[in-house]
Amino acid sequence: MQQRVAKLFGSVPGKVATPLPHTIEPAQNGERRVTLHGPQERRQFMIAYRAPSAVSADFAAFLVLQEILGTGSGVNFLQNDWGTPVGDDAVLAGAAESLTTWFPPSAQDYVFIIGGMAAGDDTESVVEQRIESRIASLRKTAPTRERLDAAISDVQDALIFDVQTTEDAAHQLAFFDGLNALDILLTLPERVAAVTAADVQRVAARYLGSEQRSIAWYLPGRRDEATAVESAPAATAIKIERPLGDLGQRIADKPVVRKLGDGIPVILQHSDLSSTAYLQIALRGNQFTGAVPDVPIAGHAAISQDVRSRHIGDAIRKAYDRYKAIQPIADHQTDLSVDPTTRMEQEFAKLMQVDRQSPASRVAPSLITVVGDIDTDRVFTMLQDAFGDIQYAEVSRAKSGPVGSDSKTVSIGKPVAQAQMGYIARAPGPDDPRSDAWRLLLYILSHDYEGRLGKKAITESGLVYYIDSDYRSDGENAWVTLSTGVDTSKIAPLGALLSAELDRLQTEPPTSAEIDEAKSHRIGRFHSAAQSNSELATELATQWLWYGEIPDAASLQKRLDAISHQDVLDEVASFTSGQRIVVAE
């Protein structure tokens, strides 16, 4: 591999790395505040502190501090995604609503942020004081040995979850090398294991003093004058289990399909890309207490858990307890969202709604999937012990109604920074040979920033921020959906462009080259799209619930080879006769 890399990239001239900024922000010796006003009804806040960089000697201790204070999520910058929800057992738990913490790895000292919303009648000062008192407890008193050991174990688990795929490994290696902290990454489990209770107390006192806070509030209402930033007076003063370099040497085994005693199908797949496992229980229906709706496919819900492999037995027992506790939600009514992206999904959901009759009021699993570094026979025995006496029951299939071809505008009644424009059309179900032609057309029209629409709307005109498209199915019914983020001032030209591109599929039909590229993309994604345990489990479950089997690459290639140029053209008229939806103020 090194020789191939050298052959392909050896002639590319190297460049000196961009130097880090020379200007260092001075120490903050006084609290800073900013208040914003707008149409949002909830009071939202962020409290930011200076925090150590990835190369700092305090980095590992701060990770453990974050875990104790709020709960962390490893050091994968993409995984953290602007905030990890505060856990029930964390020090900050209950201090405010929707609490999160954020501590991204950085080349120089950066930030630690606590975010959330004020609950009920709590004033802003009450929320701030409640959070400050929790932090002060860690500044004054070191954590107990029991709490420290639990936090260290949780951080080390999160570091394992950070690297579940070759893509994860490549990201981490490149990202930390870019921070000049590759050695830190490779020895981080050992550094975390060496953190003491005194270290946690020390970094809490060093970085999280009340005079070091920058507090921002977003409050309901409007304010004509600009809000100034105010400054308060200065205050008185373990061994790595899976070396990253070995990830490319392993691949997932072929999935094994078996059935429990009373008929529930089980898919098991061994994959030792990381020492983790993912358990997913798919349920017929999509509205249950304690289950995530429309996962792994439309019309279903899922109970899922991502665990270290050694804890798979505990995960199965907990999943069984969660399954026994869930109940169908009768006459479920979803509050209409004022977030345009969420509201667009709600509009899609209404059009994709299917009335189903269940043969019984109980909740029946339709599939259990376990993927990861597991002994498949042992895990099957565990599942049999836990779920073997639960009867598998099919739910009668039903056809959804038509989508329609009119245009619809939805007003959320509030100003928005970014509106949504969407498109939905009723598609053939997965078992219908025409469904593959529809998926090829969807790729040709829009795949991310490419495709006919993507090139026109993003590359050439900058009309939209992104384009997201998908083929969705509950196994019987199917739909293609497309959604875009767009400035409100650009809704009209985007609408005209979307109509023009749909029309162009008929006036300038897809070429053989476009169709061949779409087919090649389908095969490529089949091989590479799902790598992590959760991605593999969801993809396996989707294939089984759609087709009643798990297709391999050869069968997919055979299906695609059977689709002629004319087969694709025959579907254009139906594909372009869907409904356009706009969600705006």
Each residue's pLDDT tens digit, 158-194: 999 999 888 889 999 999 999 999 999 999 999 999 9
- Identify the weakest region by mean pLDDT among 278-282, 358-362, 438-442, 464-468: 358-362
Q: Which residue would you say has higher pLDDT here, 567 or 364? A: 567
pLDDT score, position 38: 84
- Identify the weakest region by mean pLDDT among 276-290, 325-339, 433-447: 325-339
The closest alpha carbon to 487, from 461, 449, 453, 459, belongs to 461
pLDDT score, position 46: 97
pLDDT score, position 396: 58
User: Do the Cβ atoms of 381 and 448 come closer than 8 Å?
Assistant: no
Domain assignment present for residue 335? The answer is no
Residues 176 and 224 in one domain: yes
Residues 440 and 567 in one domain: yes
pLDDT tops 60 at residue 22: yes
pLDDT score, position 530: 86
Domain assignment present for residue 5? The answer is no
The closest alpha carbon to 475, from 541, 430, 428, belongs to 430
Where are the strands (E) in 39-82, listed by range? Answer: 44-51
pLDDT score, position 246: 43
Each residue's pLDDT tens digit, 235-294: 333 333 444 444 444 456 899 999 999 899 999 999 888 889 999 999 988 788 889 988
User: Do the Cβ atoms of 46 and 33 come closer than 8 Å?
Assistant: no
Average pLDDT of the chain is 89
pLDDT score, position 232: 40
Residues 30 and 140 in one domain: yes
The closest alpha carbon to 119, from 45, 35, 222, 31, belongs to 45
pLDDT score, position 227: 42
SS3 assignment for 76-126? CHHHHCCCEECCCCCCCCCCCEEEEEECCCCCCCEEEEEEEECCCCCCHHH
Which residue is it, tokens 């990454």?
185
The closest alpha carbon to 247, from 369, 152, 162, belongs to 162
pLDDT score, position 468: 93
Mean pLDDT, residues 458-482 taken together: 93
Give how far the C-alpha of residue 530 lies from the chain's centroid of Cα atoms, to the nearest Å: 14
Residues 94 and 199 in one domain: yes
DSSP result, 380-418: HHHHHHHHTTSPP------PPPP--S-EEEEE-SS--SS
Percent of the chain with pLDDT over 90: 70
Among 172, 199, 231, give the residue marking a domain's end: 231
- What residues make up the domain containing 266? 252-328+363-387
Residues 561-572: b if buried by 16+ CB within 10 A, e if exposed: eebeeeebbebb
Q: Which residue would you say has higher pLDDT here, 168 or 198? A: 198
Residues 176 and 271 in one domain: no
Domain assignment present for residue 516? The answer is yes
pLDDT score, position 372: 94
The pLDDT confidence band at residue 395, using thresholds 50, 70 and 90, is: low
Residues 158 and 205 in one domain: yes
- Identify the weakest region by mean pLDDT among 19-23, 274-278, 375-379, 434-438: 19-23
Q: Give the Cα separation of 408 and 490 in Å (integer).
A: 17
Each residue's pLDDT tens digit, 124-146: 999 999 999 999 999 999 999 99
Mean pLDDT, residues 472-485 taken together: 94
Residues 174 and 284 in one domain: no
Mean pLDDT, residues 313-339 taken together: 86
Domain assignment present for residue 357? The answer is no
pLDDT score, position 42: 87
SS3 state of residue 358 = coil
Residues 299 and 195 in one domain: no
364 contact partners, CB below 8 Å, separation of at least 6: 283, 284, 358, 390, 391, 392, 393, 395
Terminal alpha carbon distance of the chain: 54
Among 201, 231, 261, give the residue marking a domain's end: 231
Mean pLDDT, residues 310-326 taken together: 94
The pLDDT confidence band at residue 447, using thresholds 50, 70 and 90, is: confident
Residues 213 and 257 in one domain: no
pLDDT score, position 77: 76
Domain assignment present for residue 1? The answer is no
Domain assignment present for residue 485? The answer is yes
- pTM higher than the cut 0.85: no
Domain assignment present for residue 51? The answer is yes
Residues 497 and 577 in one domain: yes
Q: Tell me, what CATH number does 194's domain have? A: 3.30.830.10
Domain assignment present for residue 354? The answer is no
Q: Which residue would you say has higher pLDDT here, 390 or 203? A: 203
The pLDDT confidence band at residue 555, using thresholds 50, 70 and 90, is: very high
Residues 209 and 265 in one domain: no
Each residue's pLDDT tens digit, 408-417: 999 998 888 8
Residues 40 and 146 in one domain: yes
The pLDDT confidence band at residue 231, using thresholds 50, 70 and 90, is: very low
- Identify the weakest region by mean pLDDT among 155-159, 179-183, 380-384, 448-452: 448-452
How many domains is the chain built from?
A: 3
The count of C-alpha atoms lying within 13 angstroms of the C-alpha of 17, restricted to the half-sphere facing its C-beta, is: 8
